[in-house]
Structure 1
């Protein structure tokens, strides 16, 4: 089950996957909720003070979302500057299944207002089905046990909630045509995967483009790429290799990668043509 960090060498043990607990997320959220209610603030009122939506506030309070540093600092200011939230934030841990190098990026994903993904190796984790993810786990080396596979899928399924829980976030995917033609897991798995991708493509905040198999000019030949924009309009990039990932905060580098992605959007098939191609591919299975 290989993917952009969510399926790196993570798991319950090993390099990049030490044990984690989600109890800390739920405890932190309960503290936020308790302080908010003590201050007499609704989620919407509190959200206005910390500059996040009431849906984001709810996700943090329910332990479903990792708060970023900006949320913690603004929440502290709005709730009395007791220092409790800052200290509690230092103990936060995510659920198992995310590779160590990917966790910082995953935290940024939770608050991103723009998220771009180019993938040339496999269908991105945010668009995968459980059957497809489990099919990829078959050839993982070293072999994964059932617990590790289940943890990885749970982490991935949790991340996929971003597509619907953040309707104001703009998601863009550019995926190489051959990732579907490979038929990972067989025809039935691929058919389900394409159907799922087509369903996600119908969301108003999602743009899905296919990079055709035959393309004489291609700006993405240097490998997969992810970009995101924070609520403060800062841009970050994430590049991943076989056993590591690199988070890039340098503005000049991020700007170069933005330009590359923009060129790829022009080189890939338009949304309507991409949908038509996926429909034809599904019909051929």
Structure 2
């Protein structure tokens, strides 16, 4: 873990000990296992968004630790361009995210996030740091005033297996289905029957901020970049309309997501 996340763990340990609670009592209060609590406190497991949200709920902190996680996570390992985008993401009132290949980061489970980073490119410690950063970003969806989040994903994203990890995709697709039922989250699926379409050229995100400014984020094999030139933003907005027009309506999309979840063993 990085120094910033380590600071959060220290705060969580202080929160527990100041209340005179053992790890077992703390675990019961937040409805996590004692083993999970121990792993977090010994730095063998990162404190995820779900974990700190459970602490905030159990002890009525008003979201204190969720906010701290969002502020601290990701900056130890994230390059400058990603730090910039994380800040834009936090401020956004509307996020529109298209993904032709992967589950959008804000919807990923911990296991899926780890699987996307496997393959030898990163060390085990680097994977832990990247996963911590990615999951911390998800806290914006459960905060008091979350952004309106709209995701369009290709059906192949739901059906692509993760080798040698049975159950991973079922858990992941079930999580997408659960999040898609939140009032401020919409997930639409471009069905396989669509065939080739413009969006397959690559992933992108559009973020609208409270001051009506807009930024984009585009990814490829070599690099990711922030997009702020009006011409480029207009191009991404047009592509967004194309991919969303190809997608199934919300109810049909959710039905398909649930159907695919059942197909995974």
Could you tell me which residue of structure 2 aligns to residue 34 of structure 1?
none
RMSD of aligned residue pairs (Cα, Å): 2.8
- Shift in Å at residue 200 of structure 1? 0.5
Change (3 A) 1:215 1:93: closer
Bigger fraction of residues in helix: 2
Q: Secondary structure at the match of 1:161?
A: helix
**1:156 pairs with one of 131, 134, 144:** 134
Q: What aligned pairs does 1:45-60 form with structure 2 within 5 A after superposition?
A: none
CA-to-partner distance for each residue in 1:84-138, whole Å, 9 max, x for gaps? Answer: xxxxxxxx99533434432111110011011011011211111111111222232
**1:118 pairs with one of 79, 92, 98:** 98
Change (3 A) 1:22 1:182: closer
Q: Distance in 2 between matches of 1:204 and 1:105?
A: 24
Instruction: Answer yes or no: is 1:263 the counterpart of 2:242.
Output: yes
Which shifted more, 190-199 or 247-256? 247-256
- Shift in Å at residue 21 of structure 1? 3.8
Asked whether the equivalents of residues 85 and 226 of structure 2 are also in contact (C-alpha less than 8 Å), the reply is: yes
Change (3 A) 1:61 1:123: closer
Could you tell me which residue of structure 2 aligns to residue 102 of structure 1?
82
What TM-score, normalized by structure 2, do the two folds share? 0.70
After TM superposition, the runs of 4+ consecutive aligned structure 1 residues lying more than 4 A away are: 22-25, 57-62
Asked whether the equivalents of residues 95 and 148 of structure 2 are also in contact (C-alpha less than 8 Å), the reply is: yes
Q: Distance in 1 between matches of 2:186 and 2:73?
A: 31
Q: Secondary structure at the match of 1:221?
A: helix
Q: Distance in 2 between matches of 1:219 and 1:113?
A: 26
Q: What aligned pairs does 1:1-285 form with structure 2 within 5 A after superposition?
A: 21=4, 63-66=68-71, 94-141=74-121, 144-165=122-143, 167-185=145-163, 186-216=165-195, 218-285=197-264
CA-to-partner distance for each residue in 1:5-61, whole Å, 9 max, x for gaps? Answer: xxxxxxx8xxxxxx7646999xxxxxxxxxxxxxxxxxxxxxxxxxxxxxxx97699
- Shift in Å at residue 219 of structure 1? 2.7
Asked whether the equivalents of residues 20 and 95 of structure 1 are also in contact (C-alpha less than 8 Å), the reply is: no
What TM-score, normalized by structure 1, do the two folds share? 0.66
Q: Secondary structure at the match of 1:154?
A: helix
CA-to-partner distance for each residue in 1:173-230, whole Å, 9 max, x for gaps? Answer: 0111111211125440000001100010011011101111121462313211110001
- Shift in Å at residue 171 of structure 1? 0.4
Q: Structure 1: any 5+ residue segments left out of the alignment?
A: 1-11, 13-18, 26-56, 67-91
Change (3 A) 1:62 1:106: closer
Change (3 A) 1:170 1:119: same
Asked whether the equivalents of residues 140 and 146 of structure 2 are also in contact (C-alpha less than 8 Å), the reply is: no
Q: Distance in 1 between matches of 2:177 and 2:256?
A: 10
